[in-house]
Structure 1
Amino acid sequence: MKEIAEVVAVDGHRITLSTELKSACSGCVQKSTCGAGILSHIFADRNTQFTVESDVPVRVGEQVQLTMHEADFTRYALLLYGLPILVLLLLAMLLSALGTLPEWTVILLAFSGFAASFLALKQWFKRRDVKVQQLIRVTQAEASASHTVKS
């Protein structure tokens, strides 16, 4: 998995990068006639910044290529999206099987577990941040992929 990012700041080996958040519509041929594609244009100017450690010599304003192995990306995506849904379903089934709680309580507790799993994952990712940052490899952007990001 590859992405082009712009170098925003350099502090020794720590590089702050900015990337444009893209929707799935950005690569679709029908984006100009589809309702979802039209809405994606409204929210097109979204950027995110993050810091990684790298030995690659870069300057502010330069374009770099970020690379992450597909297996690592898939693993973390499944964890982030799959675990909360699994918690929701398991809690709903377990609490329903008890048969002593009213339905509204089962729903409320299942969604509370869903939210709690997101918060737990957020804390887990914060503690593992260095490991996640090490999964991203920074290299010089290829000449054909280099372009200036509009400010």
Structure 2
Amino acid sequence: MKERAEVVAIDGQRITLSTQLKTACSGCTHNTTCGAGILSKVFADRNARFTVESDLPVNLGDRVEVVMDESDFTRYALLLYGLPIVGLLLIAALLTHFSPLTEGIVILLAFSGFGAIFVGLKHWFRQRDVKVQQLIQINVAAA
């Protein structure tokens, strides 16, 4: 997977990059008539900033290419999006089957678990940030 980014800060070997967040709608031919496509244009001005370590000689404003192996990207995406959904379903199923709680309480507890899994993943990803950084390569982007 490749993404273009701009160098916005340099601190030794730590490079802060900014990249434009894209939506799937940008590649669709129906994005002007679809409700989701119209909404995606409203939020089109979003940037992501992140810091990586690299010994690549870059200057402020340089355009670089961020490269990550697709299998690593897929694994982390499945973990980030799949685990909370599986957790929600599992919590709801277990509470429904093994407890005398009402349906509303089961729903509230299942969504609470869903949120707790997201918070847990956020902390886990922050601790693993160094390992994720090792999966990312920075290359000078072609003009």
| TM-score normalized with structure 2 length | 0.95
Q: Which residue of 1 aligns with 2:108?
A: 108
1:33 offset after TM fit, Å? 2.5
Question: Given the alignment of the two structures, is residue 52 of structure 1 paired with residue 61 of structure 2, yes or no?
Answer: no
Partner letter of residue 38 of structure 2?
A: I
Q: Which residue of 1 aligns with 2:35?
A: 35
Runs of at least 4 residues off by over 3 Å? none
Provide the identity percentage. Answer: 67
Q: Which residue of 1 aligns with 2:123?
A: 123
Distance (whole Å) between structure 1 residues aligned to residue 7 and residue 136 of structure 2: 15
Q: Which moved more, 1:117-126 or 1:94-103?
A: 94-103
The alignment partner of 2:7 has SS state of strand
Distance (whole Å) between structure 2 residues aligned to residue 67 and residue 115 of structure 1: 30
Q: Which residue of 2 aligns with 1:16?
A: 16
Distance (whole Å) between structure 2 residues aligned to residue 38 and residue 98 of structure 1: 44
The alignment partner of 2:30 has SS state of coil
1:99 offset after TM fit, Å? 4.1
The alignment partner of 2:50 has SS state of strand
Distance (whole Å) between structure 1 residues aligned to residue 33 and residue 104 of structure 2: 41
Q: Which residue of 2 aligns with 1:94?
A: 94
Distance (whole Å) between structure 2 residues aligned to residue 117 and residue 132 of structure 1: 19
Give structure 2 stretches of 5+ with no counterpart.
none
Distance (whole Å) between structure 2 residues aligned to residue 79 and residue 68 of structure 1: 16
Partner letter of residue 20 of structure 2?
A: E
| TM-score normalized with structure 1 length | 0.91
Distance (whole Å) between structure 1 residues aligned to residue 60 and residue 47 of structure 2: 16
Give structure 1 stretches of 5+ with no counterpart.
144-151
Distance (whole Å) between structure 1 residues aligned to residue 27 and residue 107 of structure 2: 38
1:134 offset after TM fit, Å? 1.6
1:27 offset after TM fit, Å? 1.3
